[in-house]
Amino acid sequence: MTFDDNSYEMFPDANAERDDADYVLLGAPLDRSTTFQPGARFGPRRVRQFAETFDDYDRRTDRRFSALAVHDAGDLDTFEDVEEYLDFLAGLLGDAADDGAVPLLVGGEHTVSAAGVRATDPDVFVCLDAHLDLRESYAGDEYSHATVTRHALDVADRAVVLGARAGSEAEYERAERDDGTVVPPGDVADWEPDFDDGAAVYCSVDIDAADPGFAPGTGTMEPFGLEPRDLRAVVRSVASSTVGFDLVEVNDRDDGQAAALGAKLLREFVYSHAQTGADD
């Protein structure tokens, strides 16, 4: 596990000390159940790298990222027992939440989102994803990345999956229950949050929600996906209610398109969340 600022490339402008942080970023390079193109282990590194070109200043919110008290805590290196890893990861993220900071988790495969949900105990799991991820297990693995929404529903009361365009028949049947909402890609632009006032949201961005033309660097590409502005609109719309955020499934199989998009969405979340707090 890394906490030494000199031993890894920090997310640009994430320069707050841990004790002063309003947001704590943690990388989780888990890459054990990817079903097509592995490489998610490089996601945290690439997201930091391809955020280097972004300007510190955001015109829309009139804010500087460097002034928003973001701390980069490095990466939690993976180990063999995935359940133990998720427990440890949830503990670190929970520590940040207990200190009043918003956890920002960067994967790694989507499995790591289960730790983020456990750590923050949200009412609603909002997920941008090409896949439903509602399987009981995949290839005999109950902690496969294809099971993460089911795991989230062990904690959250409701799951909203936006941009989904792939899943088994059993997954679609599971999604039809009262605790599930699936918004296909063509309807995402018109979607608005319909949560109760005060509902706590965990927002998970699987980069494969984007059409692979925009983000080819991911494990399981699925055509006919979302445009980047669709993802940005969702992130902005739920930011005010969000208690935890993650970005997952970025890998090293492109020229940086997926990492750049993911890093920009993470920054958009922080700007929007901070702006909401200032307005309140």
196-242 pLDDT, tens digit per residue, is 889 999 999 999 999 999 999 999 999 999 999 999 999 999 999 99
pLDDT for the residue numbered 2? 46
In a domain, 152, yes or no: yes
Contact criterion met (CB below 8 Å) for 63 and 275: yes
Domain count along the chain: 1
Kindly report which listed range (2-6, 20-24, 44-48, 174-178) carries the lowest average pLDDT score. 2-6
pLDDT-based confidence at 6, cuts 50/70/90? very low
In a domain, 4, yes or no: no
φ, ψ at 261 (rounded to 5°) = -65, -45
In a domain, 218, yes or no: yes
Strands (E), the chain: 23-28, 57-58, 63-64, 70-75, 102-107, 124-128, 158-162, 180-183, 201-206, 242-248
pLDDT for the residue numbered 145? 86
Contact criterion met (CB below 8 Å) for 70 and 23: yes
pLDDT for the residue numbered 278? 62
In a domain, 230, yes or no: yes
Question: Which residue range is the domain that position 49 belongs to?
Answer: 18-279
In a domain, 75, yes or no: yes
In a domain, 49, yes or no: yes
In a domain, 104, yes or no: yes
5 pLDDT higher than 70 = no
Helix ranges, 38-190 (H): 43-50, 82-98, 113-120, 148-152, 169-175, 185-188
Task: Quote the pTM value.
Answer: 0.95
Query: Whole-angstrom Cα distance, residue 117 to residue 265?
Result: 19
The more confidently predicted of residues 108 and 142 is 108
In a domain, 67, yes or no: yes
pLDDT-based confidence at 4, cuts 50/70/90? very low
71: CATH:
3.40.800.10
CB atoms within 10 A of CB 100: 8
Pick from 191, 129, 106, 195: nearest CA to 156: 195
What's the mean pLDDT when you consider all of the chain?
94
List, for residues 10-20, the tens digit of each pLDDT value.
999 999 999 99
Number of continuous H segments (helices) and E segments (strands) in the chain = 8, 10
pLDDT-based confidence at 80, cuts 50/70/90? confident
Rg of the chain (C-alpha set):
17
pLDDT for the residue numbered 165? 98
